[in-house]
Amino acid sequence: MSPSLRLDAAKTSRSLFWTALLVFALAFFARMTFYAVRGASTSPDSNEYLTLAHNLVAHHAFSLEASAPYVPSIRRSPAYPFVLAVLEWMGLSAPVWTIALQSALDAAVTVIVLLLGQLVLPLRWALAGAVFYAVHPGAIYTTTTILSEPLFTFLLSVAVALFIFGLKSSRVAVPIVSGIAMGAAILCRPVVLPLPFVIFALLLLRRRDAYRRNAFLFIAATVVTVAPWSIRTSAVSGHLVLVQAHSAVNYWAPTVLFLDQRNESAIWKYEEKLLQENLPPGNYTPEKAIASDRILQREALENIRANPIGYFKSRARSYPYLFLSSFDNFSGVNNSFGTLWTQRAFVKLAAKVSLLLVFSALPMLFGVVGFGLGQRQLVLALIGFVWLYMLVMHLPLWIEYRFWVPVVPFLIVSAMFGLHRTFVAFAKHRGETSQAVRARTE
């Protein structure tokens, strides 16, 4: 490499470093500022994660029990409780430390958006995508919740980014570390359990030996990372359980059509009543978790058979809320569009519509455009398949926007590529039109 090329490369590296530092700081500041104003958000799921973490530290047991005997639990995935347990062991169990850690992890995701973006876009467009994620209301709000999504988003982003960068590297450590990160992501949210095999299949179709080697190393590392936990859950339950049990609730809940699907409290109360009536009393053992899945599976099938048309109509109404949101939790504007119009609260209505369009509808639109235009580029294909995978996997599952947030970084890269190509096509068309006009006038 000539001295001038080395100098240019060094300048580019320094520019990318300072740009990455800038977007990291912006993202971290935005999340901690939101926490300072609104505080941490919790839910019943949060209480279970915190209980598991406390029992790990105090009793060395992965258990949801409040007192002895601490029956082993297979109800929750282990990654997030283990992180909370480490914070508690260090004396940092206060919510501020959890949110600070999650804000740092999500700020790192902003840098990953920048790095992935600059592989397929000019740096200024990649920077725009990173800034967009840094101020994304869904990402900011989710980061300030005591839930597994922030950790999951980070692990999934690291896994996919390392895998993509590993395709251009001869180092075997890169796909191995990528697989370890993917395994950790699975142990955080098992919804991505099939994803490594989707990526593996996509690489095999490319028919390049280097890709195949990376794909095999990636899969092997993923399996080795998940396997010890799978052995543990299967041993304590007496059944094959790869990550967690009591998962059937995710596709059972959408079938309970005799209850208002918008009334989560009523659905979870009915689930509790149903299981109490069909399970023996006592601690929630691994055997009961397995039995719960069977009960809910049977009930879900019966509900669908009883009203298949109603089920599919309900799915059609609910499904768009997976990826479309007006971010009421972030803005605090919890009234519907119709209510705000009736109340003539036009400022709040405008804010709600703007958030929906800018951070939800338009990214999805241009993401689809970018996915369609980028299929011949392996990097864009891999990025697009991550959010497309989540889109398909949630077809039969319970819908909440927070389940979509972990793939928003990938959607943003696809969307920025689609938007960039749209701008380029428009500028080209405009230039050709101008030339045609000048030619006619001459």
Burial (0-12, 13-18, 19+ Cβ within 10 Å), 394: buried
Instruction: Supply 23's token pair.
Output: 């977007």
Q: Looking at residue 9, what is its pLDDT? A: 46
pLDDT at 407: 98
Distance CA 340, CA 104 (A): 36
H helices of 238-334, where? 249-252, 264-278, 286-306, 308-318, 328-331
Predicted confidence at residue 376, as pLDDT, reads 85
The predicted pLDDT at position 202 comes to 84
| Residue 383: Cβ-neighbour burial (10 angstroms; 0-12, 13-18, 19+) | buried
- Mean pLDDT by groups of 10 residues along the chain of 442 residues: 48 79 97 97 93 96 92 95 97 96 98 96 95 98 97 98 88 94 98 93 74 89 97 94 93 93 90 92 89 95 95 94 95 90 92 96 97 90 96 95 97 97 83 61 60
Q: How far is CA 133 from the centre of its chain?
A: 13
Q: Which tokens in the block code for residue 291?
A: 């039995």
Give dist(CA 142, CA 382) in Å, integer: 25
First to last CA, the chain: 48
Task: Write down the pTM of the prediction.
Answer: 0.93
